[in-house]
Amino acid sequence: MHKENMNGSLSARIAVFISGGGSNLQALIDASRSGLLHGEIVLVISNLRKAYGLERARKGDIDTFVFKKKKYESLEAADADLLARLKQHKVEYIALAGYLKLLPDNVVKAFHGKITNIHPALLPKYGGKGMFGHHVHEAVLASGDKESGVSIHLVDEIYDSGRILHQVKVPVLPDDTPDSLAARVLEQEHKWYARILDKLIRGEYENQHD
């Protein structure tokens, strides 16, 4: 359970990792500011300088960092710098929101049980390397499944394999395109990510093995 701060209210320090538009990041920022999420987004990290989510962070007065491994002498130096920046910002929780890279092992170990990801399908189906964005929705439509949805899960060293905290189902309609299905799923992502992250921060998933 996350400790209360000096004012007696819960507030966790959160870093959000993105690679794209950052609509989930925006939903988390909004939830933090409205009090639905008992946490503050203190750092937004992207592997892509042009990710629009970085602009959202700047507009929200949130520190940003572009993490590109190629800029470093070695992978070890890159991973060590990433962890150092998270520590500098006193980050306690990490939310992946459309981040297309695997988190380095040192970060996964340091934040064990405190890293979440949101995936736009019902894991364990349609997960793993290469399953992102429209690829996921195209695969769901090709399968003929009647339902898709959102999975919010803890992150470990393997893509999309950590403990599932929460899933929300949406129908797949006969005339769906990848875009129309993505929009229906995204609406639920925006609704649920902050709520589930908040439950994690409040310790509501401790000692549960569902």
Binding positions for ligand GRF, rule: CB under 6 A: 18, 20-25, 53, 97-98, 118-120, 186, 189
> Has 119 been annotated as catalytic?
yes
Lookup result for tokens 């959202």: 56
- The residue annotated as part of the active site, out of 38, 89, 119, 137, is 119
Q: Which is nearer to ligand GRF, 66 or 186 (CB)?
A: 186
**Cβ-proximal residue to ligand GRF, closest one:** 98
Q: Which is nearer to ligand GRF, 3 or 50 (CB)?
A: 50
CA angle 88, 54, 58 (to 5 degrees): 75
Q: Which is nearer to ligand GRF, 82 or 122 (CB)?
A: 122
Least distance in angstroms from the C-beta of 81 to ligand GRF: 24
Least distance in angstroms from the C-beta of 189 to ligand GRF: 5
For residue 179, give the 3-state DSSP assignment.
Answer: helix
Question: In whole angstroms, what is the distance from residue 93 CA to residue 208 CA?
Answer: 19
Look up residue 104 and give its DSSP letter.
P
Computed from CA positions of residues 144, 150, 152, 157, in that sequence, does the dihedral angle turn out positive or negative?
positive
Least distance in angstroms from the C-beta of 177 to ligand GRF: 15
Least distance in angstroms from the C-beta of 178 to ligand GRF: 11
Residue 102 corresponds to which amino acid? L
Asked if 41 and 58 touch (Cβ cutoff 8 Å), the reply is: no
Lookup result for tokens 């229906």: 184
Q: Which is nearer to ligand GRF, 21 or 113 (CB)?
A: 21
φ, ψ of residue 157 to 5 degrees: the values are: -75, -10
Catalytic site positions = 119
